[in-house]
Structure 1
Amino acid sequence: MNRDKAVAIKSLGIQDGGSKDSAKIFSNLLETSKNLPTTSSELGTILLSVNEIKKRARELRQKTKPKSDHTRAHYLLAGSGLAIQDVESSLNTLKSRQLIEQNVPNREAEGDLDTYLRTKKDENILSSIEQSLASAAKDFDNFVNQNFNLDWEQRKEEVRENFGIILKKRRGNETTVNSSFEASPPTWGRTGRGILDGDSRLNVNENFATRAKFEKYAKIINSFNNARQNGSNFSMEKEILESFNSSTEANDRQLPGAWKILDHARNSKDVIASSKSFLELQFLEYVENLYKKNSNEGLPTNVNKVKSFIDQKLKNSNNAWKYGNLTVVNGVPIWAFIFYLLRAGLTQDALEVAVANKLSFKKVEQSFLTYFKAYVNSKDRKLPNEYVSRLHTEYNQHIKNALDGDPFRLAVYKIIGRCDLTRKNVSSITLSIEDWIWIHIMLIKQDVSDDDPVYEKYDLTDFQTVVTSYGVSTFDGSYLHVLMLTGLYELAVQHAMSINEIDAVHLSIALANHKKLGISDYKSDNCSDLVTVSDGKMKLNLAKLLGNYTKSFKFSDPRIAMEYLTLINLGGTKEGAEVCHEALRELVLETKEFTILLGKVNRDGTRIPGVIEERQPLLSLSDEQDFLHKITEQAARRADEDGRVYDSLLLYQLADEYDIVIRIVNKLLSDLMSNTDLSQSLLNLDDNSETNPVLIAKKVINVYVNNLEIAQKINSKNKETCILLLKVVDIRKSYYSQNWQQTLEKVEEIDLIPFVDEASSRRKAQEFSSLSPEITKSIPNLLIITMTCVSKIVESLNHSEYQSLAKTQQVEALKRLAKNCMIYAGMIQYRMPRETYSILINLEVGL
């Protein structure tokens, strides 16, 4: 040995310096060898299959020529105690074995059986994995084919139609060219139009004042909807006016005024008559308030109040009249007196004043009383035709261009006879904006005919054109009043938006309620403008307005949002109802407040309706249940897609999709048992029937099985699966309590694990693929439970001091049961988690 060691040292180029030097060299060599990679090194292990190792070994053999002289290896191994002759012998043996494996077909009979079995097992596992991947790929392809089988030509045609592209359609031997708008209305915007995703920047929760205003209006709207639903009377105008009076908030003066105008006009469809009446009452109220502030002589009659007004408004500080050429009788300008009595709506009083002062009229004015009596006594405040031409002649000859004429006389003649409509203003008199509107209203002729001369044609549309041509800058902060008084309600809402969006929204609601708004037909709702013109008429996009407003609080107050969205249907049209329904769908899907909006299911299975269902009389539903079912099912699908399982459970129950509920519950229960360790309980003290799958399943089965109507809607296999899973839960409970014998009895009762003999094991293995996925996921744990119970019982029996034939027979029976389980497990092992079979083998070995 020493000689071999010396030769080895010499062959390595090391001089013999004594045993101490050689020991040192070999120590260094050993120390260095520790740095070589090992299975525990940070480089990790090389995981290669047997076939791959063979392939690489063969490549190495081809590259390296065999040498009979082992030289350095011979000397290097000399100190290890392994003779080189033994190594060479082992190499020759391996070569001969390789030849045997290559030349002998049944190499497992002559070669290394263990190696072959391991190789075979690896190949089986790889084959199973490949089959699973191929099956999954095939299933995916089938899914794609079934769900994405699109007719692209049809889709292309639909897209063209939706964008209004003219299409050529062939019918038989004819080719017709149709506009898509004629063939079918545009569908873009109809679905997913984003009614609640407007461009409003309002935030009702921005500050305390805004929030308080929002809540105040919300209460009014709730009361309004209650009244609509119950058929009772409710005046939104009066409620809001009272809120203005009681509020400490600084409001723009136009807003309360607009509500007063609407309150006055709500029972009158005639814009001209209602505005005339409002302006006259407003003026008389002003005259009365002015009269109260000043000490006046005489009785407080309307005539005296107007006379007092004239004294205060038409005189200068030096008590002289502001206007020259006034016809003054007994200290009163008579024509101004008649004018302002008419302005206050006191027509009869004006006539009496005219009659009492007839002697003061000039010669050219003598026929005035005749005209005025006819005017006052007519129902529609019109002159009879026989007087019209005479009055116009006198006006043009004596009144219109009189240099010393009373300016109020010209105004009275113009109003009574609708004279000189080419110049509708009375420039010689200082008028307020309200006076100006009143005069124009008095000049309007409602029944204009084509036979009327052009200079006599002046209707409401003409006056509205005058107002809009002047615009907001002309009316000095009164533009909202002007628009309301002239019937331009759509523009009034639009202008109110620039003042305060919350007030504007509620003004639009009140106007729509009284049928005073032209409401968009929603076909052009893709337009960004709030007000559009269609067929020469202005229309307001009420859905856009309410959607924009609701956007600011749909998440914080979904119940109130629902109240506002029902108002989209105020117009009472079919399309308005459809858009209202769509807006409610958006609200449900975006806020996910399913319990509030759609309802919930009690523990006993009874259904509590949500706020949408409570308001169904206001939604113009042709089929209430169909609408609720569709909106609920759509929400359920969305929740399912988003992975919100418990939300989808609630929604499918509300949609009466009980079979889907059972399937979801089965999956939840199966996943819970698969993902919960056997040493853990499936129920905790803080679990409830809303979140724990076990409690949910028990509640569902209890309600569904006992309700015959519901039970008929459930697939029997799904119901049986749920019942069977609950039995597995009961088995888990017994197992957790370590009641081994009772657990085995319950496992045998559900008949999923082979208890009888080997034949039953094979039969159960064949039946495995026909079981539902939820049940198959429970099989591995059931096998472990069964084998554990057998192991524990056998261990207990073996440690028992009492010996008997019955005890021996019981142990043997348990071992046969274990054997059956292992046969069954061996047949389905590749369909179970990898570690399950190892656990079962260890349990079997322990027996």
Structure 2
Amino acid sequence: MSDDKASVLTGFNSQDVAPKDSGKIFGKLIETSRNLPTTSSELGTILLSVNEIKKRAHELRQKSKPLQDHTRAHYLLAGSGLAIQDVETSLRALKSRKLMEQNVVSMETDNDLDTYLRNKKDENILSSIERSLASAAKDFDNFVNQNFNLDWEQRKEEVRENFGILVKRRKGDYKATMEGIDGPSITWGENGRAILDGDSRLNVNENFATRKKFEQYAKTINAFNNAKQSDTEFSLTGGIIETLTNSTESINRQLPQAWKILEHVRGSNDVVNKSKEFLEAQFFDYVDKLYKRNPSEGLPTNVNKIRSFIDHKLKNHNNTWKYGNLTIVNGVPIWAFIFYLLRAGLAQDALEVAVANKLSFKKVEQSFLTYFKAYVSSKDRKLPNEFVIRLHTEYNQHIKNALDGDPFRLAVYKIIGRCDLTRKNISSITLSIEDWIWIHIMLIREDSSGNGPLYEKYDLSDFQTIVTSYGASMFSGSYILALMLSGLYELAIQNAMSINEIDAVHLAIGLAYYKKLSISTYQNTKLSELITTGEGRTQINFAKLLGNYTKSFKFSDPRIAVEYLILINLGGTKDAAAVCHEALRELVLETKEFTILLGKVNRDGTRIPGVIEERQSLLSLSDEKDFLHKITEQSARRADEDGRSYDSLLLYQLADEYDIVIRIVNKLLSDLLSNTDLAQPLLNLDDNSETSPVLIAKKLINVYVNNLEIAQKISQKNKETCILLLKVVDIRRAYYSQNWQETLEMIEEIELIPFVDEVSSRRKAQEFSNLSPEITKNIPKLLIISMTCVCKIVKALNQSEYQSAAKIQQVEALKRLAKNCMIYAGMIQYRMPRETYSILINLEVQL
């Protein structure tokens, strides 16, 4: 080997090296030589041809220095496992015997062209391998030298990306790879919010009771969505209340009451009056049920029912009154009677009772009827200013501090005159929590003008402050009711979440549907907190609430998950619709339940819509087809990137990307053909049209070709490739059945392998690069099949007892065919697997 060649392979030049640096250089040479193949290399030892040895020997003789001076050759050959002394001895022997010239003369003399060609092929192969090794060694050294200082930041980013920690870019999708363009990137949520990956630990499948509750709620939500979609009437509150009533689980008593409050207040934004009406109706319902259990004398009028309640509530077991200072008239405490009639919302009945018993009022109470008549007749239950002043004076002088005064008289005066608002509680009367709330609501006045003394100001916000300052511990398990009745719906949901998440979520759905919730906007929101407070208002992150809930069953019940996620759009805003669409995309990409969510394609090519498409009218889509196409195409790309070819195949069909469908089918079919051993069948008994590339390709080609609209969307090249691959499938079937002659005829029909002459072989070799990758991938096996068939047929003809000129001509024709195949194979041999050409040579030898 020359100095120049050795220096190229090792990367050193002897002329540039000073003697004093020789030790350092030798070390580098030894280190570099380790990159070269040795006898232990999987490539094996390089066996040089006779001509190559002669050529190198001639080059060495031309040098003025002896062989031993070629130090780089020493190290290079040492790295390859070849001793230099052996080479020198072999060259001297060759020189003395002139072995190479004798072999050449012998070949020319004997005119053995076949032997010469065979040796020439071997020589070409070995020479090519040597050149490849030399080039590889050089490229490796250059690569190490140029890339030793790695960009570790880039590597770190790539590792993070692979583990899903950082996603800034993505490889081109299948379509982009095929067409050389960049496809749109897939985002898991428009702003990377991961709506379905909240911090909820709820598991709806944890036990039977929880699962039962989940299913009952889901059934109601499904009916609700059906009604919305068909634009029919449906009472969500009624449906949920029925669900809770029929539930076998122990339900927190606040929950049904909270839904009843919602049902009552849903049609109005007047929290004060609606809550007052609810509490009064609730109280009278209790009075009515109590009366039915303990009927008393007289007709069942409202007045008699309240009288019966007073007897039951205010009397002891010995028939004495619980309060000692009650004003009793005709056996009834008159002021308690008026108070509880007002409590039941029976103001007119209370006035009639007061008028009927006016003679029983004390002197200081004589003007009460005047105030009471004005109060009852007022639409807003508001006294004229002159009455307010007089009533307050009488209250402060005679009622407030009376030692023997009736406590219910104080309560009635305080309610109708809004007296002494600095002390709103009535400690002398035992009140339920609902009574306490009712009294506070009766004292509320929303004065928009802001006039009047400060001590008379008491509005809804003041009451809300009192409720929240007391907190849950002060309301004995009725805090949700207090929050609902005071209009603090967001805090009611927050408190309900601490009791039962499933119940809280559905209460939030009801509040959102009836426009009672203040829902945070989602723009630039990371969905980090359920409740946010700022700028004087509390907001609930409705999308996070539903996303957290859906997380617990998105894999087990994806269809139900859709029913809940579309509720994000209850607000009807553009912002809510965008987040709703984002959540549905996440659901599809995470669960991969494409058939359920996006639909499927029947055997005849018709589409069966998925649940998302079925609910598209509830999604506020500006372009329904565009949304479904985008979400389906994004899912298809994701499936393709994850290597789920069959999923991507389905999704691209649903996205009407039929050309990509055929490309994927071609790749699947090509891989099956090229990776399946020739001794194995392509189809197994358990194969079906859902998993077998062969059956899939046949079905799709049959459907697509017969559908003109679809056929126009498929490129001619892809269609032809698919049809051609199916023909190769038929060839493989015939070959597996050992129908050699039929197999050859079928191969000739597809015109991929040259059977005619040498000219066709060269032409086919030139056209090789223009073939699709799916076809070129299968050329090697087609060549092996062709040569095997030729060998089998020739062997059968030669072994035939009866020989004829026709058989001899057939054998010669087959050999010419084989020769054309080998010429073609020789021209494309470096584009085929290494073992292919060796197999073909062995088959050729058999001829």
TM-score band, normalised by shorter chain: 0.7 to 0.9
- Asked if 1:276 corresponds to 2:290, the answer is no
- Asked if 1:428 corresponds to 2:434, the answer is no
Deviation, structure 1 residue 749: 1.3
Are the equivalent residues in 1 in contact too, given 2:213–2:247 (CA < 8 A)?
no
- Partner-residue secondary structure (3-state), 1:257: helix
Aligned to 1:49: 46
Are the equivalent residues in 2 in contact too, given 1:97–1:111 (CA < 8 A)?
no
- Please list the CA deviations of residues 719-767 of structure 1 after superposition, one character each: whole Å capped at 9, or x if unmatched: 1111111111111122222222222221111111112111111111111
- Partner-residue secondary structure (3-state), 2:600: strand
Aligned to 2:798: 798
Alignment CA distance shift 1:475-1:98 (3 Å): farther
Aligned to 1:820: 820
Aligned to 1:782: 782
The separation in 1 between residues aligned to 2:284 and 2:233, in whole angstroms, is: 29
Task: For 1:19-418, list aligned pairs within 5 A.
Answer: 47-49=44-46, 62=68, 94-95=91-92, 97=94, 121-127=125-131, 190-418=190-418
- Please list the CA deviations of residues 640-669 of structure 1 after superposition, one character each: whole Å capped at 9, or x if unmatched: 111111111111111111111111111111
- Partner-residue secondary structure (3-state), 2:608: strand
- Partner-residue secondary structure (3-state), 1:458: coil
Deviates more, 1:377-386 or 1:335-344: 377-386
- Please list the CA deviations of residues 690-723 of structure 1 after superposition, one character each: whole Å capped at 9, or x if unmatched: 1111111111211222222222222221111111
Alignment CA distance shift 1:413-1:91 (3 Å): closer
The separation in 2 between residues aligned to 1:456 and 1:527, in whole angstroms, is: 42
- Please list the CA deviations of residues 112-169 of structure 1 after superposition, one character each: whole Å capped at 9, or x if unmatched: 999998565323135457889999999xx9xxxxxx9xxxxxxxxxxxxx9xxxxxxx
Alignment CA distance shift 1:750-1:517 (3 Å): same
- Partner-residue secondary structure (3-state), 2:195: coil
- Please list the CA deviations of residues 809-829 of structure 1 after superposition, one character each: whole Å capped at 9, or x if unmatched: 322222211111111111111
Aligned to 1:11: none
Are the equivalent residues in 2 in contact too, given 1:364–1:398 (CA < 8 A)?
yes
The structure number with the bigger radius of gyration is 1
- Partner-residue secondary structure (3-state), 1:539: strand
Are the equivalent residues in 2 in contact too, given 1:598–1:613 (CA < 8 A)?
yes
- Partner-residue secondary structure (3-state), 2:605: coil
Aligned to 2:19: none
Aligned to 1:439: 439
Deviation, structure 1 residue 585: 1.0
Aligned to 2:163: none
Deviation, structure 1 residue 318: 4.1
Are the equivalent residues in 2 in contact too, given 1:568–1:580 (CA < 8 A)?
yes
Aligned to 2:14: none
The separation in 2 between residues aligned to 1:448 and 1:46, in whole angstroms, is: 94
- Please list the CA deviations of residues 405-452 of structure 1 after superposition, one character each: whole Å capped at 9, or x if unmatched: 322222112211222222211222221111110011111113432223
The separation in 2 between residues aligned to 1:310 and 1:92, in whole angstroms, is: 129
- Please list the CA deviations of residues 507-539 of structure 1 after superposition, one character each: whole Å capped at 9, or x if unmatched: 111111111111121246435332112432211
Amino acid aligned to 1:223: A
Aligned to 1:593: 593
Aligned to 1:13: none
Deviation, structure 1 residue 401: 3.0
Q: RMSD value over aligned CA atoms?
A: 3.5
- Partner-residue secondary structure (3-state), 1:538: strand
Aligned to 2:649: 649
Aligned to 2:840: 840
Alignment CA distance shift 1:594-1:388 (3 Å): same
Amino acid aligned to 1:746: M
The separation in 2 between residues aligned to 1:305 and 1:354, in whole angstroms, is: 17
The separation in 2 between residues aligned to 1:475 and 1:825, in whole angstroms, is: 90
Alignment CA distance shift 1:134-1:45 (3 Å): closer
State the TM-score, normalized to the length of structure 1. 0.81
Aligned pairs, how many? 734
Aligned to 2:707: 707
Aligned to 1:70: none
The separation in 1 between residues aligned to 2:611 and 2:43, in whole angstroms, is: 65
- Please list the CA deviations of residues 594-652 of structure 1 after superposition, one character each: whole Å capped at 9, or x if unmatched: 10000001111111000010011111111111111111111111111111111111111
Alignment CA distance shift 1:797-1:100 (3 Å): closer
Deviation, structure 1 residue 61: 8.0
Deviation, structure 1 residue 300: 2.0
Amino acid aligned to 1:815: K
- Partner-residue secondary structure (3-state), 2:498: helix
The separation in 2 between residues aligned to 1:45 and 1:364, in whole angstroms, is: 117
Amino acid aligned to 1:656: D
Are the equivalent residues in 2 in contact too, given 1:448–1:457 (CA < 8 A)?
no
Are the equivalent residues in 2 in contact too, given 1:448–1:458 (CA < 8 A)?
no
The separation in 2 between residues aligned to 1:300 and 1:413, in whole angstroms, is: 28
- Please list the CA deviations of residues 336-374 of structure 1 after superposition, one character each: whole Å capped at 9, or x if unmatched: 111111001111100001111112222332222122112
Are the equivalent residues in 1 in contact too, given 2:566–2:619 (CA < 8 A)?
yes
Amino acid aligned to 1:95: R
Task: For 1:450-599, list aligned pairs within 5 A.
Answer: 450-523=450-523, 525-526=525-526, 528-599=528-599
The separation in 1 between residues aligned to 2:238 and 2:544, in whole angstroms, is: 26
The separation in 2 between residues aligned to 1:641 and 1:605, in whole angstroms, is: 25
Are the equivalent residues in 2 in contact too, given 1:50–1:119 (CA < 8 A)?
no
The separation in 1 between residues aligned to 2:812 and 2:740, in whole angstroms, is: 17
Aligned to 2:765: 765
- Partner-residue secondary structure (3-state), 2:621: coil
- Please list the CA deviations of residues 492-512 of structure 1 after superposition, one character each: whole Å capped at 9, or x if unmatched: 111111111111111111111
Amino acid aligned to 1:248: T
- Partner-residue secondary structure (3-state), 1:499: coil
Alignment CA distance shift 1:100-1:401 (3 Å): farther
The separation in 2 between residues aligned to 1:128 and 1:43, in whole angstroms, is: 18
Deviation, structure 1 residue 289: 2.6
Are the equivalent residues in 2 in contact too, given 1:108–1:116 (CA < 8 A)?
no
Provide the identity percentage: 74
State the TM-score, normalized to the length of structure 2. 0.81
Deviation, structure 1 residue 574: 1.2
The separation in 2 between residues aligned to 1:751 and 1:566, in whole angstroms, is: 56
Are the equivalent residues in 1 in contact too, given 2:400–2:410 (CA < 8 A)?
yes
Deviates more, 1:566-575 or 1:112-121: 112-121
Alignment CA distance shift 1:524-1:343 (3 Å): farther
Deviation, structure 1 residue 380: 2.1
Deviation, structure 1 residue 240: 2.5
Amino acid aligned to 1:658: Y
Aligned to 2:173: none
Are the equivalent residues in 1 in contact too, given 2:237–2:510 (CA < 8 A)?
yes
Aligned to 1:78: none
- Please list the CA deviations of residues 286-335 of structure 1 after superposition, one character each: whole Å capped at 9, or x if unmatched: 22233233352222221122122222322344433333433222222211
Higher RCO, Cα 8 Å, sep 6+:
2
Amino acid aligned to 2:569: N
Deviates more, 1:750-759 or 1:524-533: 524-533
Aligned to 1:4: none
The separation in 2 between residues aligned to 1:48 and 1:91, in whole angstroms, is: 18
Amino acid aligned to 2:396: N
